[in-house]
Amino acid sequence: MNTLNSCKERWAALVSAAAVLVAVALMISGCGDAPKPAAKKTDDKSKVVQTSTNEVAMEVKAEFDDDLKTSKDPFFPNSKRRVAKVASGKTVAELPRVADIRLRGVIGSPGKYIAMINDKTFAEGDKSQISVGLNQSLVIKVTTITAKTVTVFVDGEAAPRELILDAIKEARK
């Protein structure tokens, strides 16, 4: 049994010695003065960088053609978002329509009224922005509130406006 172990040990030593010899032979053959690859520039968009004796890495800069006439979005080819927009005839921005300010309701008691103007609540002296129309808003300041009317100052106007409760306006029609 002793001879079996010594035989295995000798075999293992022989295999490891052979592996070391093969590794040394490979290192010697690869470390010689081998001809270096030519570092040439292929075009203006790329740059060749030599990192070690046997490796060449290319650094490429991306360049995109963004001409609307000759190219299109590869992910959304039918998209119209890149199409040049033609200026419309409107040169002045649409102003918010002050006529869209509506008094929806008044609650409370004399001296402590709360008014609802365009779905926003106001007490006397409150100043806030209200929406009028699509993507448009105005800043108003409420000065007085009575049971049926509200007086407001609209930013950009010199004179105050009196808003009458919607229910009263409909009854008068």
pLDDT tier, 86 (very low <50, low <70, confident <90, very high otherwise): low
Run of H or E residues at 19: helix 2-30
* CB burial readout 102-139, b (16+ within 10 A) else e: bbeebeeeeeebebbbbeeebebebeeebebeeeeebe
Tell me the whole-structure pTM to 2 decimals: 0.44
Task: Tell me the one-letter amino acid at 147.
Answer: A
143 touches 122 (CB < 8 A): no
142 touches 150 (CB < 8 A): yes
143 touches 132 (CB < 8 A): no
Query: Is the pLDDT confidence value at 67 over 80?
Result: no
Span 34-42, mean pLDDT? 55
Report the C-alpha gap between 57 and 130 in whole angstroms. 62
CATH number of 98-172: 2.30.30
Report the C-alpha gap between 129 and 150 in whole angstroms. 16
pLDDT tier, 37 (very low <50, low <70, confident <90, very high otherwise): low
CA Rg value for the chain? 42
CA 46, distance to chain mean position in Å, is 31
* Tokens describing residue 57: 């890495």
pLDDT digits (tens, 9 = 90+) for 112-150: 999 999 889 999 999 999 988 778 888 999 999 999 999
Q: What is the reported pLDDT for 132?
A: 85
Task: Tell me 99's DSSP state.
Answer: G
Kindly tell me the number of DSSP H helices and DSSP E strands found in the chain: 2, 9
Q: What is the reported pLDDT for 106?
A: 94
CB atoms within 10 A of CB 152: 25
Report the C-alpha gap between 74 and 88 in whole angstroms. 29
User: So where are the chain's domains?
Assistant: 98-172
pLDDT digits (tens, 9 = 90+) for 70-85: 777 778 778 777 666 6
pLDDT tier, 110 (very low <50, low <70, confident <90, very high otherwise): confident
Mean per-residue pLDDT of the chain: 77
Span 88-102, mean pLDDT? 65
Report the C-alpha gap between 45 and 111 in whole angstroms. 77
